[in-house]
Every structure is written in C-alpha cells, then in structure tokens.
Amino acid sequence: MDKMKVSYEAMLGLAAEMVLDKAVVEFRTQRLYQAIDKALATGDKDTFRRLTDELKTLHA
C-alpha cells in the first residue's frame, strides 16, 4: 500500500510541475508579445529582434 501511495504522490507532483511549467511559459509568452508590440510601435529594431529570438527559444 505504501508503494502505491508513493507512486500516486510522485504522479501528482509531476502533474503539478507540468501545470506550473505551462503557466510560466504562457505568462512569459504574453509578456514577450507585449514587449514586442511596444518595440514595434517605437521602431526599436534591436529590441524587437532580441525579443523575437527569446520567444522562438521559449517555444523551441
């Protein structure tokens, strides 16, 4: 019984980690899109390129 409980807790921990990872990626993506929009609006090419590279890396 204890072995099943340990396995169940490990699975719950893994599921929680996956949910948290997805939330962090979604949050960071949203922030990057906002910053990219701002860089486009101000014509800041260097920042735009840096941020789009970061976004590509995040989703690679």
Give a yes or no: residue 58 inside a domain: yes
Whole-model pTM: value is 0.80
Give a yes or no: residue 49 inside a domain: yes
Give a yes or no: residue 12 inside a domain: no
Residue 1 in this model has a pLDDT that exceeds 60: no
DSSP string, 1-51: -HHHHHHHHHHHHHHHHHHHHHHHHHHHHHHHHHHHHHHHHHT-HHHHHHH
Q: Which residue has the higher pLDDT, 35 or 4?
A: 35
Residue 6 in this model has a pLDDT that exceeds 90: no
Give a yes or no: residue 54 inside a domain: yes
Domain range holding 51? 22-60
Give a yes or no: residue 13 inside a domain: no
| pLDDT, tens digit (0-9, with 9 covering 90-100), for 25-57 | 999 999 999 999 999 999 999 999 999 999 999
What pLDDT does 3 receive? Answer: 79
- Please give the average per-residue pLDDT across 9-34, as a whole number: 96
Give a yes or no: residue 44 inside a domain: yes
Number of domains making up the chain: 1
Give a yes or no: residue 40 inside a domain: yes
Give a yes or no: residue 5 inside a domain: no
